[in-house]
Structure 1
Amino acid sequence: MATYADPRPSSAYDFAGAAEPDAATAQETAWIEVIRKMEEVYSDLIQYEVELEEKNTALEEAQRFINSVLSAVSDILIVCDQRGHILQVNLAFLRLTGHAEVDLFERPLDELLAETTGELRLYSWIDAQPGLEREVRFRSADGGQTEPVALNCATRLDHRGLPAGIVLTGRPVGELRRAYEALKTAQAQLVQQEKMASLGRLIAGVAHELNNPISFVYGNVHALAKYSERIGAYLDAIHGGCSDELRQRLRQELRIDNTLADLPALIGGTTEGAQRVADIVRSLKRLSFSSAGGPESFNLSEVAAKAVQWSSSGSRGSAAVGVDLSAPLPIRGNAGQLHQVIVNLVENALDAVAGISGGRISVQGHMDKGEAVLTVEDNGPGIAEDILTKVFDPFFTTKPVGKGTGLGLWISYGIARDHGGSLDADNLPGGGARFTLRLPAAF
C-alpha cells in the first residue's frame, strides 16, 4: 500500500505554535505604550493644572492689588461701556454718592447726573475737547446732589486697540474751592501786611522829612513869642504915658528895632515851613495805595525823587544815594502804587549794601523808544544766578526770618505788569544788582 508524505514542512507546526506567543507580546507592548502615553498626558494635565492654579492665584492677587489701589485713590473712577452704561466704579465714587456698587452695574451714567448737568454725550465730548474737564453733579442715594466734581473723560481701548468704552476720573472741587478761598484770604492778608510794612517805611521817611520844617516852624514860633512879649512891654509903657527918656531906654533894652527887622524873616520862614508841611501832606494824599480814583497822568521822576528821599531819610544805613532824575518821565497810572514799587526797590538796595564800606545806590531815569525807564542799582554782592529767576516769586526771600515776607518784589512786579510795563532784575558787570522798571510813556 502506497503512502504519501506530508507536504508541509516539518517545522510548520513549530512555526504556527510560535506565532501565538509573539502576538501576545505585541499586544502587551501596545498596552504598555498606551498606558505610558496616558501617564504622560495625565502628568501634563497635572502640570497644567498646577500652572493654571498658580496663574489663577497671581490673577487673584493682581485683582486684589488693583482693587486696593482703586479703593485707596481719592479721585472718583467710573468705567462705562460704549453705551454709557456703568461697568465699574471705585470706592471714592460710592462714598461720594452713597450708592451700592450692585445698584450701579449696567446702569446708564446719565441717570446718575443731576438735572443741572444734562447729558454728557461722552464720545462727542472727547472728540471735541480732549483732556478738558467738565464740572458735574451726581444724584446721591438720598435724593440730593453731590458737590461739584471736575470730571475728565478718556476712551478705553480693547486688546485690538479699538474703542471699548469710557473711563471717567475726577475729584470733588468743593473742598478745593474752600482751600483756594482760604489761600486767597491768607494771601490777601499777607499782601496787606506787606503794604502796611511799606507804609511803615514810608511813614518813617515822612516823619524824618517832616521833622525839619516842623522844627523850623517851632523855633520861629518860639522866637515870635519872645518878640511878642518885648513888643507888648514896649507898647504898654508907651500907652502908660512914659517919658521920652524911658521910651528910648526901653527901646534899646528890648531891642525893638532888631525885633521889627527880624519879623519879616521869621514870618516868611514860618510860612515856608508850613508850606513845606502842606506839600508833604499833599504828596501823601496823592500817593495813596488805593486806586479807586483811577489812573492819572504824572511825572514819574517826581514820584521817584520823593520815594528815594523818604526811603533814604528813614534808613539807618550810611550808603550814598545818587539820583539822576532830571529827565521828565511822563506816564499814566496810579502814583501811589508806583511810589510803593520804587520804595521797595530802594529799600532792597539799601539792605543789599548795609554793612558794606563805600556802599552806593544809583537811581536813574530816562526815555527809551516810547518807554519811561527807571533803574535802581547798587554795588552790593548782587543776586546769585540760581535765584535770579526766583526773585519775583511770591514768598521768596533771601532775608533772615522776620526781616521780610518775600512779597515786596512780587507785588512790585504785579503793579508794573498792571501798568502795562515790566520789572526785570540782573547783575551789573562790575558787581551789584540792577532792577529796571519800564512803563509806557504818556505824551
Structure 2
Amino acid sequence: MQQPTALQRIIQVYFNDPAKTLAVKSGTQVLRQGGYNDRLYWVKSGKLSGYMHDETGEQSARIFRAEPGMFFGVHSFFSRTLVASTTVIAEEDSELAWIDSTTGAVDVAQYGPLSEQFMPVMVHELAKRQVLAGQQAIAKEKALQKLYAAEQMTTLGQLAAGIAHELNNAIGVLSSKTDGMQGTVRQYLARHQPELSPFLASGLDQGQAATSSQVRQRARALQQQYALAREPARQLARAVPDGEVPVAWLTDLDESLAAWELGRDLHDMRLAAQHASSIVRSVKQLGGGDQARQPGVDINDTLHKSLSLLQSNLRRVSVVLRPAALPPLTASSTELVQVWVNIIKNACDAMAETRAPQLEIITRCSRRRVTVLISNNGPMIDEAIRHKVFHPNFTTKKGGLSFGLGLGLSIVQRIVHSYGGSIALKSEPDMTQFRIHLPIA
C-alpha cells in the first residue's frame, strides 16, 4: 500500500476531527487584521480571500486567495504572535477544518515536534501564494499597459484636436479671403478689361485639368501648329488641354494666359482651403469627436476621409480604390476612419523602400457582411511577426513621427471585434493584405 505524503498525513491526522470543522456563509469574516487568532485553518470546500488594510483602514488590497486544499492563519499560528496579519472573508459558502494552539503533536518520536511536522504545510502554502502573487503581478502589469496605452492615445488625441482647432481658424480666414478676392478680381476685370473676363472665368471654373505628360504632348503640337515658343505653348496647353484653340486666345496670348493663370491660382487656393478644412474636420473627429454609433454610415466615405488624412504619406504611392455599392451601417465614422488610417499608415511605412509602391483598396458586400481588402506591395511580413502584429505594444518602428507606440493594430483589432467583425493578415512575397469583415446587421 502506497504511503501518504507528508501533507496528506497531516490532513488525515490533524484535520479530520468533526468537532473542529466550521461551516461559514458567504461574506463571513473569519479573521480580522490585527485581531486575535490562535488557529490554523484548512479549506475543505469553498473560497475565501485575504485582504490587507492600510493604517487608516480606508484602503485595502487582496493579497491571497484560499481555495480547497489551502491553509490560512499560517503566520499568526506558527509565529505564536496570535495576531492575524490579514482579514479573511468567505467569498462563497465554505467549510473549514482547524487546529489551535492547544493541539499537541502526534507521533513525536517518528515525525518530530509540531513545527517540524507542519513544515510541508508552510512550504506548500508559500508556493501557492507565490504563484498567486505572480499571477496578480502579471494581471496588474497588463492593466497598467492598457492604462498607459489609453493615456497615450488620449494625449495624442487632445494634441490633435488642439492643433486642428488652431488650423481651422487660419483656414477659415484663407477660405473667406479667397472667395472675396475672386469676387473683387471678377468685378475689376468686368469694369476695366472686360475682354479678359472669359479667360479669368475659365481658370476660376475649371482650373488645370491636364496632367504633366498631357501638357508636354499638347505643347509640342501647339508649338508646331501656331509657331509658338516653348513656354507660351506649355501655358496654352494647360489652359486649353484639348480641341481647337479659340481665336480669342491668340489675339493677345500673353494677356489671355495671365488672366487664365490668375483664375487658375484662385481656383486652386479655393480647392486647397476646402481640402484643408476637410482634413481638419477629420483630425478633430479623431482627436475627440463623438464616438457614438449612428445609422447611415457609408464605409466608402470613411475610406475617402482616411485617404484625405494621409495625403502626405501617399504622395509617392499609387492608390487604387475599387468601391462597391455598400449598404449603410450603424457605426461610428470616427472609429472606422481610425481603423483605415492605422492600416494604410502601416502600409505606407512598410513600402518606404519599395521602388514603385502601390496600395489597393477594395470593398465588397454579401447578404450578411461588408468586406474591406487593403493590399500593398511592400516586403513580405515573416510568420513570427504576423503572429504578433495585433499584440499591444508590439512595434517594428524605431521612432519618428509615428512614435512607434505599437498601439495602432491592437486598437484596430479591438474596434473591429467590438462590431462583431474580424480582421486577418495575409502576407506573400509580392503582396500583404488586411481583410476586414463587418456584419451588416
Match of 2:391 in 1: 393
Amino acid at match of 1:185: L
Match of 2:316 in 1: 318
Per-residue CA distance 1:355-413 (angstroms, 9 max, x = gap): 21111111111013511111111111121111211100001011224541110000111
Q: Distance in 1 between matches of 2:54 and 2:350?
A: 60
Q: Distance in 1 between matches of 2:353 and 2:133?
A: 53
The answer to whether 1:192 aligns with 2:154 is: yes
Per-residue CA distance 1:263-309 (angstroms, 9 max, x = gap): 79859987985776776666666667545534333110111122123
CA separation of 1:277/1:230 partners in 2, compared to 1, >3 Å: closer, same or farther? same
Within-5 A mapping of 1:246-257: 254-256=192-194
The answer on whether the counterparts of 2:424 and 2:435 sit within 8 Å (CA) in structure 1 is yes
The answer to whether 1:434 aligns with 2:433 is: yes
The answer on whether the counterparts of 2:283 and 2:309 sit within 8 Å (CA) in structure 1 is no
Give the SS at the match of 1:362. strand
CA separation of 1:391/1:194 partners in 2, compared to 1, >3 Å: closer, same or farther? farther
The answer on whether the counterparts of 2:43 and 2:69 sit within 8 Å (CA) in structure 1 is no
The answer on whether the counterparts of 1:325 and 1:364 sit within 8 Å (CA) in structure 2 is yes
Within-5 A mapping of 1:276-295: 289-295=288-294
Q: TM-score, normalised by structure 2?
A: 0.53
The answer on whether the counterparts of 1:363 and 1:376 sit within 8 Å (CA) in structure 2 is yes
Gaps of 5+ in 2: 1-5, 7-12, 23-31, 72-95, 100-120, 207-265
1:336 aligned residue (334, 350, 353): 334
Within-5 A mapping of 1:208-227: 221-227=180-186
Match of 1:423 in 2: 423
The answer on whether the counterparts of 1:394 and 1:407 sit within 8 Å (CA) in structure 2 is yes
The answer to whether 1:81 aligns with 2:15 is: yes
The answer on whether the counterparts of 2:43 and 2:66 sit within 8 Å (CA) in structure 1 is no
Q: Distance in 1 between matches of 2:183 and 2:293?
A: 45
Per-residue CA distance 1:105-150 (angstroms, 9 max, x = gap): 5x264xxxxxxxxxxx93231xxxxxxx643447999999974333
Q: Distance in 2 between matches of 1:152 and 1:344?
A: 45
Match of 2:218 in 1: none
Gaps of 5+ in 1: 1-62, 64-78, 87-95, 110-120, 126-132, 158-162, 235-253
The answer on whether the counterparts of 2:45 and 2:67 sit within 8 Å (CA) in structure 1 is no
Give the SS at the match of 2:44. helix
Per-residue CA distance 1:406-442 (angstroms, 9 max, x = gap): 10000111010111111111113x5231111110114
CA separation of 1:375/1:193 partners in 2, compared to 1, >3 Å: closer, same or farther? farther
Per-residue CA distance 1:221-261 (angstroms, 9 max, x = gap): 43543454567xx6xxxxxxxxxxxxxxxxxxx21454499
The answer on whether the counterparts of 2:321 and 2:361 sit within 8 Å (CA) in structure 1 is yes
Q: Could you tell me the percent identity over the aligned residues?
A: 21
Give the SS at the match of 2:364. strand
Per-residue CA distance 1:2-24 (angstroms, 9 max, x = gap): xxxxxxxxxxxxxxxxxxxxxxx
Q: Distance in 2 between matches of 1:328 and 1:410?
A: 26
Q: Distance in 1 between matches of 2:33 and 2:53?
A: 7
Quote the offset at 1:345 in angstroms.
0.6
CA separation of 1:358/1:124 partners in 2, compared to 1, >3 Å: closer, same or farther? same
Q: TM-score, normalised by structure 1?
A: 0.53
Match of 1:124 in 2: 45
CA separation of 1:290/1:216 partners in 2, compared to 1, >3 Å: closer, same or farther? closer
1:378 aligned residue (373, 376, 379): 376
Q: Distance in 2 between matches of 1:181 and 1:420?
A: 23
Give the SS at the match of 2:326. coil
Amino acid at match of 2:312: G
Within-5 A mapping of 1:116-265: 122-125=43-46, 134-137=48-51, 147-155=61-69, 170=129, 182-193=144-155, 195=157, 199=160, 221-228=180-187, 254-256=192-194, 258-259=196-197
Match of 1:362 in 2: 360
The answer on whether the counterparts of 1:372 and 1:439 sit within 8 Å (CA) in structure 2 is yes
Amino acid at match of 1:190: Q
Q: Distance in 2 between matches of 1:260 and 1:275?
A: 24
Paired residues in the alignment total 298
CA separation of 1:392/1:275 partners in 2, compared to 1, >3 Å: closer, same or farther? closer
Give the SS at the match of 1:123. strand
The answer on whether the counterparts of 1:220 and 1:266 sit within 8 Å (CA) in structure 2 is no
The answer to whether 1:411 aligns with 2:325 is: no
CA separation of 1:302/1:382 partners in 2, compared to 1, >3 Å: closer, same or farther? same
CA separation of 1:352/1:108 partners in 2, compared to 1, >3 Å: closer, same or farther? closer
The answer on whether the counterparts of 1:375 and 1:437 sit within 8 Å (CA) in structure 2 is yes
The answer on whether the counterparts of 1:287 and 1:335 sit within 8 Å (CA) in structure 2 is no
Match of 2:297 in 1: 298
CA separation of 1:222/1:264 partners in 2, compared to 1, >3 Å: closer, same or farther? same
CA root-mean-square deviation: 5.0
